[in-house]
Every structure is written in C-alpha cells, then in structure tokens.
C-alpha cells in the first residue's frame, strides 16, 4: 500500500466519523425541538412524521456533504455544519409559527403536511449547500 492511500483512508475515517457525530447531534437536537416524537410516530407507521424527519435529515446532510467536499479543514466542516443545523432548526420554527396546525397534522398522520415540511427542509438544504461551495 502506498503512503498516500493510507493517509487517504485516515482522512476518510476522520471526516466520516465527524460527519456521523454531527448527524447524531442534529438528529438529537431536531427531535428534541419538535413537539412530537418523530421516532415513536415512525415506529407506529406515521408516514407524515417519516416524510418530515426524512426531509430534515436530507436537508441537513446535503450542506454537510458540500462542506466536506469544499472544506479547508475539519474545523471548517464542524463550523459550517453547525450553521446548516441552525438553518434547519430555524426553518422548522418558522414553519411551525406560520402554520401552527402543522404540528398537529403531522402527529395525526396527515401525509400532506409531512411532505410539505420535508420538501421545505430539502429545499433549504439544497440552497444552503449551494451557498457553502465558496
């Protein structure tokens, strides 16, 4: 094995590990922020909660992937990933305030509300990722 490959594997492991930790932090923060328990609802077959949380996950991971691809270092990845997390949380809060019944709708399994919130999360994630390509 060449030294470049070994160094590449080490960097891969460091960046992947960091990304997974950031993902876990995002999932923890996001699911604590929402007034319903997405994971319990999803386990119970609630498609609206799955669409909503799935969109938020994709909306967070897209900018993180962009930052990893364009970063100047690991600290850069962490800082911009925290920004991406804040954007997703802010989007949820804005939608929650603007569409007060969306929380009840998702809890009650209205798929249209879950798709709407999930689509907004993905859209803001794409815009966020585009802005982080510097």
Q: Where are the domains of the chain?
A: 3-131
Query: What is the band of 38 on the pLDDT scale with cuts at 50, 70, 90?
Result: very high
Predicted confidence (pLDDT) per residue in 92-120, tens digit = 999 999 998 999 999 999 999 999 999 99
pLDDT score at 26: 98
- Using alpha carbons only, give the angle 51, 55, 57 rounded to the nearest 5 degrees: 120
Name the percent of the chain lying above pLDDT 70. Answer: 97
- Give the predicted TM-score (pTM) of the model: 0.92
pLDDT score at 1: 58
Q: What's the rounded mean pLDDT across residues 17-24?
A: 98
């Amino acid at each position: 094995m060449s030294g470049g490959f070994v160094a590449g594997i080490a960097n891969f492991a460091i960046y992947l590990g960091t990304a997974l930790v950031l993902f876990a932090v995002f999932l923890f923060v996001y699911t604590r922020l929402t007034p319903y328990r997405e994971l319990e609802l999803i386990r119970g077959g609630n498609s609206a909660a799955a669409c909503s949380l799935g969109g938020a996950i994709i909306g967070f991971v897209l900018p993180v992937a962009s930052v990893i691809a364009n970063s100047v270092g690991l600290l850069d990845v962490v800082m911009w990933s925290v920004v991406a997390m804040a954007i997703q949380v802010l989007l949820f809060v804005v939608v929650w305030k603007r569409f007060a019944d969306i929380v009840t709708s998702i809890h009650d399994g209205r798929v249209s509300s879950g798709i709407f919130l999930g689509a907004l999360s993905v859209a803001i994630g794409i815009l966020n990722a585009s802005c982080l390509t510097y």
